[in-house]
Structures are given as C-alpha cells and as structure tokens.
Amino acid sequence: MPQNDSGATERETEMAEEDRQATRSMLADNHWLAASEIVDRLLADAGINFWNGEEPEYRELCRLVLRASTQAAEIHLARLKGDYAAPPTDPAFIEKPAPAIVRVIAPAPNPASPSATPAPVAPLFTAAVASYTAEKNRAGEWRGSTEHQYRRFYELFSGFLGDRPVNAYTRADIGRWVEALQQIPSTYGQSTALRGKTLKELAAYTAANPSVEPVTARTVQKHTIALSGFFGWCRDRGHIDDNPVTRSFRYKKDRRAREQRAAWEASELNKLFASPIWTGCKSESRRSAPGTLMLRDALFWIPLIAVFSGMRLEEIAALRVEDVQTDSGIAFFDITPAGGKLLKTAAAVRRVPVHKELVGIGFLRYVEQQRRAKVERLFPELQPGGPDKRFGFYPTKKLSRYFDAVGIPDLDVHGFRHAAITGLQRAEVAEPIIRDLVGHEGSGSETHRYSKGYPLPQLADALNRLAYPGLQLDHLKP
C-alpha cells in the first residue's frame, strides 16, 4: 500500500467502526425509526403504498434494515482489515438449506361434534389500550411524548364512538370518526380553553368560530396512524379479524416539499442578528429587550451554528465539548450517539466541518473557554426537557417566543436547517455531499452509507461555499 494512502485508510477504518457501533447501538436501543427513511423508499420503489408506518411488519422490516446495515458495516470493516472472505454472521442473512417438505393429511373433522371452545370475548377499547400502552413501554418503543400524545388520540376516539369491545367498531364508524376529526381546531393540543373537550365539542367549537383554522391533513394522518397501530396490535392478539382503520384516510401533500417549511433569507437573518441577543440585551431574563449585556451562550450560538451547518437543533443543543474536534487542521463537529444524544437516523452519524464564518465570529475560542472550564456540555446551561428529555426542548421554546418578541413570527428554528440546505444547493454543491453534511439518507443502495467518499477537506470546502449574500455579521466579529 502506498505510504500516502495509509492515513486515509486508517481514517476510513475508524469511520467504518463508528458506523458499526452506531447501528449496533440503535439495534440495542430498539431505535427502529432510524431505518424508516430507507424502508419508506424501498416500499415506494416496490409500489407498496398501503402501510402507514405503525404495523408490526413495518417495524420488523425497519429492524431488519438496521441488522443489514450493521452486517454491511462489519463486512466492510473486515475488508478494510484485509479479510475479503468475511461471511455474514447474522442468522437473518445466512443462507439456509431448503427444508424437507412432509405432507400430512389431517383427518376430516366430525361434523356432528359441536365446537368445544366458544369464541373469545374481545376486551373493551380502554382496557385493550392500557395493555397495548404497557407493552409498548416495556419494549421501549415509545418515548414519553409519544405515549402522552397517543393517549389523547385514544381518548378522543373512545369519547366519540364509545368504549366498546374492540371487535365492535366498523369501517363506517372509522369513517365518521375521521370526518369529525377533520373539523376540530388546529390549536386543540395547545389551548388551555380546549383541554379535556370531547371530539364533538371540539368540532362544535370550530363551527361556532369561523376564524378558527381546522387541523391539517397531516394531523389527521397522525391520529389514524396511532389508531391503526393499536388495531393492528388487536388483530395480532386475536381480538379482531381485520384492522378497520387500514386505508381509512390517505394523506396527500398539498404543497411541494420545499414549500412546507419556510427557510430564512438574508433579510430575515439580518433582522434576527441585529436584535438584542446579538447586539446587547437588558438582562439574562430579558433577552428581547435592548441593553448592554452580551451573553455568548446557547441562545447566541445555536442559530448561528444551524445557519452555517444545516445541523438539526437537537444535534447542536446536545453537543459535548469533546464533540468539537480537529483533524488535519480542520475543526469539525463529531455527531455520534455518544453521551446519550438522540439522533434522528443512522445517516445522522457524521462529521460536519466548522464553517469559516463561525470561526471568524469566535466559536472556536468559545469552545476553548468551555474546555478550560472543564465542563462536559458545550452549552452547560441547557438541561434535558420534555417527555423525551431532549436538550433542544427548552431552546426551541425560548427561541420561538423570542422570534415573536422581535417581530419575526412566521419563521422557526427548523427553518435554519432549510436555509442552509437551500444555500448549499444555490452554491451548486453536489447533492451527495449535501446529504453527507446534513445527515440525510442517500437515495439508492446502502453503498452510499459505507463508501465514505468525501474526506473532511472536501466537506469543508463545500460547506464554506455556503453564503447568504447581503448578510451582515461584522458586528459579531472581534
């Protein structure tokens, strides 16, 4: 092997090991959702469009994809170490000999003999939901927010159609439920005035207040997914013969994907970064009021990092000091599940260079200050919050309120990521490189996940092409 290739091979081996550990960790944690993007694409390619994502078979397929990803990473790692004959070790991917077929002719039943076992009585909806929820929690398949949200969905359902045996609900019942659901207010989950109201009461509230917007089709889909998952469980337990929710509602996107989340433009970013958090505020508790206090903390850095990296807010908020590293003179964010970070998909494991604008603003100096202070978290003031215990829970809420306070109500923190992706596309960065930078699954085969075709210098060069013409940040530079 040529000497100048040894460093690259060593780094590729290291990254293959990271991939293997990441997928094994997701399997151990039963984080099957990490493979959902790949599974959705496989199903779409195969013309399978009747699964809604909550069926047991769908989850098992996701787990198989994770197992395949782990197996592919192990074989790739073995080949990097010179073992080109490494066989698969997961039983799911070891070819088995065809079993011998033995035909047995069963005796015909005696028609005169009455059935000895009566048909089982199906449980009531609320009792079955309690069992279903307990099983989900034992298996670790639900985080806190999912359980809380789904309980409310099930309460609305049983309040509307009654607490019947689970085999007593018909497709016509489900149709009436969907029709009523489409008429409830979009704010029913946030408004204290609407808390505890039944589905009929919520629909009546919308009808009596013409200015109130009803829920979106996406929200209706979430309800049907939750209910279909429950009835699928009932079918698997023998309580019902058929899932009455299947194909009861088809969600159609009424906007193009690029229009579904507003991206920040330079003019809006200028307004944001000229507001008190970045120019001086009154006090730590009055960040939207102009003053002389400058705090370079999480609220200061998170929007800047998001705009110049495309990282997800949770990825930024959960960073540890040791996650900011340097390789060959290039500073980068090392995004892995280490330290209890919650990553959205397997593709989220990656290295993201630190943009030159962040360097100019003084981000690396901030990192060094935190390192000297010997704190673990890059933003130690952030504590996990919400049912899922996410580090991004509180900054998301604080920044949303801040945007309203400074007169930018129509944009949110997720738009920073959208802005970065749009900026990279406008800079004509190749789509595979954009996917590697922002942690999107690649289209096509899993080869993309394990090829690691873009070294850090190439990623840094691509990311530094991200710019927002007209954006003024000189006041933030020392």
- One domain for residues 333 and 241: no
Full-model pTM: 0.56
Predicted local confidence at residue 242, as pLDDT: 87
Per-residue pLDDT band at 1 (split at 50, 70, 90)? very low
Instruction: Give the range of the structural domain holding residue 57, as residue numbers without chain letter.
Output: 3-93
Residue 79 falls inside a structural domain: yes
Instruction: Name the domain count of the chain.
Output: 3
pLDDT over threshold 60, residue 447: no
- One domain for residues 148 and 222: yes
- One domain for residues 134 and 233: yes
User: Which long-range contacts (C-beta less than 8 Å, at least 24 apart) are formed by 354-358?
Assistant: 354/309, 354/324, 354/330, 355/308, 355/309, 355/463, 355/464, 355/466, 356/464, 357/304, 357/308, 357/473, 358/304, 358/305, 358/308, 358/309
Per-residue pLDDT band at 97 (split at 50, 70, 90)? low
Q: Over range 357-367, report the average pLDDT.
A: 96
- One domain for residues 187 and 39: no
Domain CATH code at residue 233 = 1.10.150
pLDDT digits (tens, 9 = 90+) for 250-292: 555 444 443 444 678 899 999 999 999 999 999 988 999 999 9
Residue 59 falls inside a structural domain: yes
Dig out the tokens for 467 from the structure.
């710019």
Predicted local confidence at residue 254, as pLDDT: 44
The residue assigned the tokens 């990192």 is 367
Predicted local confidence at residue 340, as pLDDT: 65
Q: Over range 346-373, report the average pLDDT.
A: 92
Give yes or no for a contact between 408 and 268, defined as CB atoms under 8 angstroms apart. yes
Dig out the tokens for 93 from the structure.
């991917």
Rounded Cα distance, 386 and 173, in Å: 34
pLDDT digits (tens, 9 = 90+) for 293-302: 999 999 999 9
Domain ends where: 77, 93, 109? 93
- One domain for residues 293 and 360: yes
Domain ends where: 93, 111, 136? 93
The residue assigned the tokens 């991939």 is 19
Domain CATH code at residue 386 = 1.10.443.10
Q: What is the DSSP letter of 439?
A: T
Percent of the chain with pLDDT over 90: 35
pLDDT over threshold 50, residue 423: yes
Asked which of 49-53, 96-100, 140-144, 368-372 is least confident by mean pLDDT, the reply is: 49-53
- One domain for residues 243 and 309: no
The residue assigned the tokens 């829970």 is 393
pLDDT over threshold 80, residue 27: no
Domain ends where: 201, 221, 253? 253
Predicted local confidence at residue 206, as pLDDT: 83
Q: Over range 69-77, report the average pLDDT.
A: 83
Predicted local confidence at residue 32, as pLDDT: 66
Residue 99 falls inside a structural domain: no
